[in-house]
Structures are given as structure tokens and as C-alpha cells.
Amino acid sequence: VQSAIVVHGGAGAIEPAREEACRAGCRAAAASGWQVLKAGGTARAAAVAAVRTLEENPEFNAGLGACLTRTGSVELDAAVMCGQRFSLGAVGAVVGVESGILLADAILEDGEHIFLCGEGAVAFAREKGLTLCPPDALITPRARNRLRKWMEKREARMSEPPPESVTPDGDSLDRGTVGAVAVDAQGHYAAATSTGGMVGKRPGRVGDTPLIGCGTYADDRAGGAASATGHGEQIARVLLCRTAVDYIAGGMTAAAAARASLDVLRNRTSASAGIILVDREGRLGHHRTTKTMPWASVVDDKVEDGV
């Protein structure tokens, strides 16, 4: 298998004015992961490096620029999984830690547990010497704006007759969760995903991102890895990433598995979403049923991107 990496910057409907910034952010992230692979690094290290690059970029809903809960706080979810031994690390609803993905990676490295949330996760981060930050350090003006808009819409909704559907329209949300999947020269697969979740979520809510098989999954034996983005409550119902990797195990290409898994999501929950994949041959796949999902990939030093 040849090494390869693909990243996404969240399914949704970004305004045309932000398109180029998001694509450029994805290209930079894919390139940072590719540098790791090229230097002989692992798929895990590459995926984590790419996701960290996107967390540092305030355009995306992860790390700096993460979206806000309805009480105005940032709570991070993140996960990383290696397909070789099913090793994984995940965090949910973490406040006051600079990087969700570095914390998830430290949990994977430590190996005792697979999932830490809330205060215990912060204590673990402190113990491991990860960078802590004041609770509001990751809040950007754009994130504040998005919460304000969410609140205005919610008020408008509340003064209307009861809604027919409680499923938020996938396209109406400008999301920006980030993820990366990679395969390295040893043929090992990894997936990493990081997010602030959904704007206006309840404090304490954890989405699909850190739930293994839902927002993140990798399996060397299947020969695939996946990272998903979209409405977490719906993605989790169909274990979207595990579903996609199962399709790869069954012989589908990454591109076909991306489509087939999003069909399952649509048929079972009527939700739209986005997913990136790498398959047995190291082929990359990306697909979305939302209006946009910025992505970028690198294979053989060749960068591709889109939205």
C-alpha cells in the first residue's frame, strides 16, 4: 500500500466567501500530515498532525474557533484510532484543554482507558503535561456570532407553531468539525476527528466524533479508516464510520463505500453528512450529502482539494 492522507473541514454549507480559506486550511493540514508520512512516520502521527493543524486554524469548529454550547462555553470532543491493534483514545465534553486531539492521542498512548470525559480528562491532561488554557481561551468572535444567530433562530422557532420535524437540516448549519484518515508505508491505518460539536448544544452533550465506529474508525484487517462529520445524533445511530469500513472490508473502493454509507444514513435517519475514507489499496474517498465539505488529500506529493 502506498501512503496517503485525506482531511475534511466539516460538512455543512459554508458561505462562498469562506470557501477558499477553508480549502487552504485543509491543504495545509493534509500537507502537514503528508510530511509525517514522507519522513516514515505512522498513519496515527500523520492523522493527529493534520487534525492539530486544523484545530489551530480558527476557521474550523475544533480547538481554537470551536463552536459554543447554549451557555456560551467550549466543550471539546475528539478521538484517534489505529487500525493495527484497535488502539484508541477519545475525549468528550472537555473544558480548558487547548487540543482535544492531543489529549485523545495521549489517552491512546497511555493505553489504560479508551475514553475520558469532563474533569477527569482535564486532570489526565495536566498529569501528561498537555497545554491547559482558561475556559474561554478558544472562543473566537465568529463562534460568538454563530451562537447569537442560533439563539435568534431558536427564539423565532419557539414563537412559531410546533415544528414538524426535530431533525435539523444538515445544510442550514455551518459546521466545521475536522478529521483526517491516513495509511502509512507499513500498511497501518488511522483515523482522527476533533470538534466543538454543534452550536447551541447542551453543556455535557457528546456527539458522534469520539464514539468509536460512529465519527471515527480504523481497521487494518478491513483495510480502511474513516472520519465523519454532520449531525452527530444521527451519525451515531448508524455507526457511520464502522458501516463505511465494513463496506471496504467487503471489497468496495473508498469512493463507493463513502457513498454507500451516506445512503444508509439517509435511508435510516434522513440526515445528510460527510465522510472521508481510505481503502485497502490506499485509495482515498470523500463524499457529502450536505452542500459543502472542504477536503484535501495528498498521495505521492500530489495535493488535491475541493469543497
**Binding interface with ligand ASP (CB under 6 A):** 10-11, 61, 77, 175, 177, 195, 197-198, 207-209, 215, 229-232, 235
Q: Residue 113 CB: number of other CB atoms within 10 A? A: 13
User: Residue 151 CB: number of other CB atoms within 10 A?
Assistant: 14
Nearer to ligand ASP, 213 or 230 (CB): 230
Query: ∠ at Cα 127 (125, 133), nearest 5°?
Result: 45
83 and 218 in contact (C-beta within 8 Å)? yes
CB of 39 to ligand ASP, least distance (A): 30
Measured from each CB, the residue nearest to ligand ASP is: 232
Shortest spacing between CB 196 and ligand ASP, in angstroms: 8
**What is the layout of strands, in order, in the sheet containing 224-230?**
216-219, 224-230, 273-278, 284-288
Q: How far is the CB of 244 from ligand ASP (least distance, A)?
A: 14
Q: CB-side exposure of 248: number of CA atoms within 13 Å?
A: 31
Least distance (Å) from ligand ASP to the CB of residue 205? 8
Query: The cell 454532520 sits on which residue?
Result: 230
Q: Which C-beta is closer to ligand ASP: that of 228 or that of 298?
A: 228
Question: Can you point out the beta strands (E) in the chain?
Answer: 4-8, 76-82, 88-94, 115-117, 178-183, 189-195, 216-219, 224-230, 273-278, 284-288, 295-299, 302-306
Q: Which residues pair with 216 in a beta bridge?
A: 212, 227
> Is the CB of 115 or the CB of 185 nearer to ligand ASP?
115
Active site residues: 177
CB of 77 to ligand ASP, least distance (A): 6
Query: For ligand ASP, which is the closer residue by CB, 168 or 187?
Result: 168
Between 35 and 167, name the residue whose CB sits nearer to ligand ASP.
167
